[in-house]
């Protein structure tokens, strides 16, 4: 924005500009030399006659040149002044430019306007000699407009912004009015544009209001139709309810009839029970014979049933470890027999995962997992991605696996339980390169098979009676493993146990 100096007067150059050796002396040079003493005596008490009558008239307004514009220039006028100055700089030598503008001397007019706008505006406002040089360039480039402004009769058909911009540089009589008129014209044009935009916005809002009213009417009609359909459905439901009530009454009558038939069946069943007892004794004898034959067959097929041998041996180890644990817990001295052993009674059963579940421990208490893993020959099966995506879902999959396996290795070392971690490999194009930690078995499901199926197969492979704990928050996996005899726990329980260590 172009503004005057602090006291409202133009600043004249402190030193006279010598003629450039590469450019002939400007015709206004003498007038400049004669003007400096006059300004030192009182700002324009004499007139300079160095460039003809029109130029003399412009310089004769000493008081007008010394006064700045009382308010900021309109933005359009300012941009036009800077653009004209940027074009006129090409006609001046480097020595004729103020020091702040010399760095833009080799720029194109557009680049001067873009990068040197503030510097050019300040030089025009504060450097009278530079403004006179720009005025000379404008007289050469726009002779008709500058001549008309100098004579005091601006062309009626000219753009007010161009008239105000050139008048700001030439400083003819009443140049302040020309600049103010250009600003008013710009404001008027802006107001007209705002009015047109307001009319367009009003028309758009009216069309939207009409569309909204149409939509409301359509929605109302649709709601009435839905209400009528609901009424019809309610009537149909009431008819069905009455029919259901009659069916209930018929069902109650049939229930009474069935109860009487049940009493008759009970009496006949009591008669048949006696015969069934005798048949049962006969069948028990045959069962003993079949068991003897089965044992002989097992001994014969033992060599070809390595998997069954492994399961039986594992179950046997479980029973032996349970017996040893019971022996340590009771701390009984070694003995061969006691009188109480001859008394016929029911002995307590061994601890199972289901028995631990009945204790007063919360399903989210990490102590519950420790108790489950403390059972003899316990096997911990972990749904890997179900646990990692519950505990740290933002980490990459490889980081998730490493973090979980590191925690499971510590848990296996502390509890001594067998630990198997299962990951989903159904969509893997190649095997994952991974070094399992000590004490942890890592398995990936085969292509086309999910980790849930592999976990259920692992549970079914265990012998009945071995404590198997499955860690997964997947309800389908938990229910399937529970049906197979395993003890399911939530993934959050394992995460809390690992976080405790």
**What digits encode the pLDDT tens for the residues 285-321?**
888 878 877 877 776 665 555 677 777 778 888 888 8
- In the chain, how many H helices and how many E strands? 18, 5
**What per-residue confidence (pLDDT) applies to 211?**
92
Alpha-helical (H) ranges within 302-379 are 306-330, 353-357, 366-373
The pLDDT of residue 425 is above 60: yes
Q: What angle separates helix 366-373 from helix 491-500, to the nearest 10 degrees?
A: 90
Torsion of CA 207, 211, 217, 219, to 10 degrees: -160
Asked if the model's pLDDT at residue 46 lies above 50, the reply is no
Q: How many Å apart are CA 471 and CA 421, to the nearest integer?
A: 9
The pLDDT-based confidence of 352 (bands split at 50, 70, 90) is: low
Across 11-34, average pLDDT: 33
Residue 143 has pLDDT above 60, yes or no: yes
The mean-pLDDT minimum among 41-55, 181-195, 279-293, 318-332 falls in 41-55
Q: Sorting pLDDT into bands at 50, 70 and 90, what band is 209?
A: very high
Q: Which two tokens stand for residue 339?
A: 């009188």
CB 179 within 8 A of CB 69: yes
* 443 vs 456: CA distance, rounded Å: 13
Q: With a cut of 60, say whether residue 206 has pLDDT above it.
A: yes
- Mean per-residue pLDDT for 445-456? 88
* Strand-pair partners of 442: 421
For residue 424, CA distances in Å to 402, 404, 450, 455 come to 15, 14, 6, 10
pLDDT score of 27 more than 60: no
In eight-state DSSP terms, residue 6 is T
Cα distance between residue 51 and residue 34, in whole Å:
13
* Contacts for 385 with CB less than 8 Å, ≥ 6 apart: 397, 400, 423, 424, 451
Centroid of chain to Cα 130: 57
What are the C-alpha distances in Å from 64 to residues 44, 61, 106? Answer: 10, 5, 33
Domains annotated on the chain, with CATH: 29-185 (no CATH), 363-500 (3.40.50)
Record the tokens describing residue 35, joined without a space.
């003007």
Question: Do 124 and 101 touch, CB atoms closer than 8 A?
Answer: no
**pLDDT for res 429:** 60
Strand partners, 471: 382, 489
Overall residue count recorded for the chain in this entry: 501
Dihedral sign, CA of 44, 45, 49, 55? positive
Per DSSP, helices labelled H in 416-474 are: 451-461
pLDDT for position 150: 81
- Output the pLDDT for position 332: 59
Question: For residue 448, what pLDDT band results from cuts at 50, 70 and 90?
Answer: confident
Among all chains, which residue has been given the structure tokens 């459905």? Answer: 233
**CA angle (68 as vertex; 169, 78 as ends), nearest 5:** 50
Residue 297 in tokens? 């067959």
Alpha-carbon distance of 51 to 364, in angstroms, equals 101
Note the pLDDT of residue 391: 92
The count of other CB atoms within 10 Å of the CB of residue 153 is 9
Name, in order, each residue with C-beta under 8 angstroms of 181's C-beta and a sequence gap of 6 or more: 160, 164
The first and second tokens of residue 352, run together, are 């199972």
Both tokens assigned to 492 = 């959050």
Angle among Cα 71, 77, 78 to the nearest 5 degrees reads 75
pLDDT confidence tier of residue 38, bands split at 50, 70 and 90? very low
Average pLDDT over residues 411-435: 83
Work out the pLDDT band at 128, boundaries 50, 70, 90. confident
The pair of three-digit structure tokens given for residue 483, joined into one six-digit string: 């049906």
* Stretch 264-280: mean pLDDT: 86
Contacts for 15 with CB less than 8 Å, ≥ 6 apart = none
* Residue-averaged pLDDT of the chain: 76
Q: Is the pLDDT of residue 24 over 50?
A: no
C-beta of residue 496 within 8 angstroms of C-beta of residue 390 = no
The CA R_g of the chain, rounded to the nearest whole Å, is: 52
């Amino acid at each position: 924005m172009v503004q005057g100096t602090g006291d409202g007067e133009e600043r004249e150059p402190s030193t006279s500009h010598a003629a450039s050796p590469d450019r002939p002396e400007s015709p206004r040079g003498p007038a400049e030399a004669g003007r400096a003493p006059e300004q030192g005596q009182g700002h324009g008490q004499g007139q300079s006659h160095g460039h003809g009558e029109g130029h003399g008239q412009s310089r004769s307004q000493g008081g007008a040149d010394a006064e700045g514009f009382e308010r900021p220039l309109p933005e359009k006028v300012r941009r036009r002044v800077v653009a004209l100055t940027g074009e006129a700089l090409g006609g001046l030598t480097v020595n004729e430019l103020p020091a702040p503008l010399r760095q833009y001397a080799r720029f194109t007019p557009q680049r001067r306007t873009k990068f040197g706008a503030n510097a050019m505006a300040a030089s025009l406002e504060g450097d009278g000699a530079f403004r006179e040089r720009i005025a000379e360039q404008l007289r050469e480039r726009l002779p008709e407009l500058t001549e008309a402004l100098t004579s005091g009769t601006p062309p009626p058909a000219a753009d007010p912004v161009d008239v105000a911009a050139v008048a700001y540089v030439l400083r003819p009589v009443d140049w302040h009015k020309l600049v103010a008129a250009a600003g008013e014209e710009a404001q008027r044009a802006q107001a007209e544009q705002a009015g047109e935009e307001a009319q367009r916005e009003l028309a758009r809002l009216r069309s939207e209001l009409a569309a909204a009213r149409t939509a409301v009417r359509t929605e109302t009609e649709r709601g009435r139709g839905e209400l009528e359909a609901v009424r019809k459905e309610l009537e149909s439901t009431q008819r069905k309810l009455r029919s259901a009530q009659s069916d209930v009454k018929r069902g109650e009558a049939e229930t009474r009839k069935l109860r009487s038939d049940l009493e008759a069946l009970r009496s006949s069943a009591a008669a048949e029970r006696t015969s069934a007892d005798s048949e049962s004794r006969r069948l028990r004898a045959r069962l003993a014979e079949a068991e003897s034959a089965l044992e002989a067959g097992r001994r014969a097929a033992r060599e070809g049933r390595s998997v069954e041998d492994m399961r039986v041996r594992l179950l046997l180890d479980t029973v032996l470890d349970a017996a040893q644990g019971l022996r340590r817990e009771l701390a009984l001295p070694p003995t061969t027999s006691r009188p109480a052993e001859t008394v016929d009674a029911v002995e307590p059963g061994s601890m199972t995962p289901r028995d631990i579940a009945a204790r007063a421990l919360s399903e989210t208490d990490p102590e519950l997992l420790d108790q489950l893993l403390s059972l003899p020959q316990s096997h911990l099966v972990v749904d890997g991605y179900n646990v990692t995506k519950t505990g740290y879902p933002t980490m990459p999959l490889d980081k998730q696996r490493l973090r979980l396996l590191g925690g499971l290795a510590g848990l296996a070392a502390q509890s001594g339980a067998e630990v198997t971690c299962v990951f989903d490999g159904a969509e893997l194009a190649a095997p994952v390169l991974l070094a399992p930690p000590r004490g942890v078995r890592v398995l990936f499901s085969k292509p086309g098979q999910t980790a849930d199926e592999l976990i259920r197969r692992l549970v079914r492979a265990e012998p009945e009676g071995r404590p198997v704990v499955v860690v997964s928050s997947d309800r389908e996996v938990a229910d399937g493993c529970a049906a197979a005899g395993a003890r399911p726990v939530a993934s959050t329980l394992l995460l809390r146990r690992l976080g405790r260590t």
